[in-house]
Amino acid sequence: MKQVLSELRRTSRICRMVLATCLGSFILVTFYFQIMRRNPLMVDESFRKGSRNALQELYNPSQLDLSTAAVLHQSRRDQVLDACSVYSASSRKRRVLTPGDLKHLVVDDDHELIYCYVPKVACTNWKRVMMVLTGRGKYSDPMEIPSNEAHVPSNLKTLNQYTIAEINHRLKNYFKFFFVREPFERLVSAYRNKFTLKYNSSFHKRFGTRIIKRYRKNAMQEAMLNGDDVKFKEFVEYLIDPATQRDGPLNEHWQTVYQLCHPCHIHYDMVGKYETLEEDANYVLRLVGVGDSLRFPSYAKSTRTTDTMTAQFFSNISSQQQVQLYNLYKMDFLMFNYSLPGYLRLDQ
């Protein structure tokens, strides 16, 4: 009898505990919805904190169309890895990166993004987009940001501005990406922009005068003074000259992606391509979770440097110089799966 009474008391206590728990849960749910009625924005914040991040969406997609894209980007990562493995096997030393090597890596702490910008690969528009993402409401439309404003260093934070521990944390946990372009198209685009447009006088003075003095026979005094009529052939001679390499790193506008973003040292999650710019860029924005509210700006196709245009510029370059130039950009061709251009005469 005592045992039965003891069981009844214990059952009664359990029932009271369950009833109290249910009542408490009901009160909390009611209180929550009362708050939400007053402040509906809390729903967005709640979902944002609990939502999947860009890395999760990339490596374990929740939607079928994202799964298809994920396969493509896995193949691009594999291509980089394979090229780096071959290079590492043939290289006697592996350079350790310093914070100074990370100045091209733009950081967005709010969305846990790292973007390595490559000049002449839509980097102005990408910087505009990063300013929108990091602006916390200051900007809404990337194209409202003047192009010169996008290149002001203080408007974006780069990875070299963090401590070593903070750098390592971000490299390990953030979504890292960059965009590439056919190497010689990018090179001709840089030449056209920096040496054929009159407003780029700073490049004319800094590089043009030096190039003309070194590589133009019987150069006119005015040309050596202004540096504003550099020929593409002279520009190529400058690039392949060992003396240029001894002067220090190449300018970022014609430096290799391999040297700017260090993809053999940093594991990037995505490699976008200029040839599929709009598609790849908006894929990044979808992964980040802002695809519905932010679109990557369109670009003027009429002014871009094309393969046909690039072939015309290379027609006056000797086969020996073409070989030397290809060797300079060889890693970019190999890592990003760009075929040898048909207009090159490497076997002559």
62: domain range? Answer: 51-336
pLDDT of residue 94: 64
8-12, 109-113, 283-287, 339-343, range with the lowest pLDDT: 8-12
pLDDT of 141 > 80? The answer is yes
Tell me the average pLDDT of the chain: 85
162-166, 208-212, 303-307, range with the lowest pLDDT: 303-307
pLDDT of 179 > 60? The answer is yes
pLDDT of 125 > 50? The answer is yes
How far apart CA 319 and CA 345 sit, in angstroms, is 5
Higher pLDDT pick, 18 / 246: 246
42 falls within a domain: no
103 falls within a domain: yes
Burial of 96 (0-12, 13-18, 19+ CB in 10 A): exposed
Per-residue pLDDT tens digits for 312-324: 999 999 999 999 9
pLDDT of residue 8: 41
> Average pLDDT, stretch 322-346?
94
44 falls within a domain: no
127 falls within a domain: yes
Token output for 126: 């990408």
pLDDT of residue 100: 86
Quote the number of domains for the chain: 1
> Average pLDDT, stretch 237-265?
95
Per-residue pLDDT tens digits for 276-291: 999 999 999 999 999 9
pLDDT of 24 > 70? The answer is no
How far apart CA 214 and CA 249 sit, in angstroms, is 18
pLDDT of 292 > 50? The answer is yes
Token output for 148: 């010169």
Size (the chain), residues: 348
Q: Are 134 and 108 in contact (CB under 8 A)?
A: yes
233 falls within a domain: yes
Q: Are 104 and 158 in contact (CB under 8 A)?
A: yes
> Average pLDDT, stretch 291-315?
87
- Give just the sign of the alpha carbon dihedral 179, 185, 191, 194: negative
297 falls within a domain: yes
Global pTM value: 0.83
188 falls within a domain: yes
11 falls within a domain: no
pLDDT of residue 182: 98
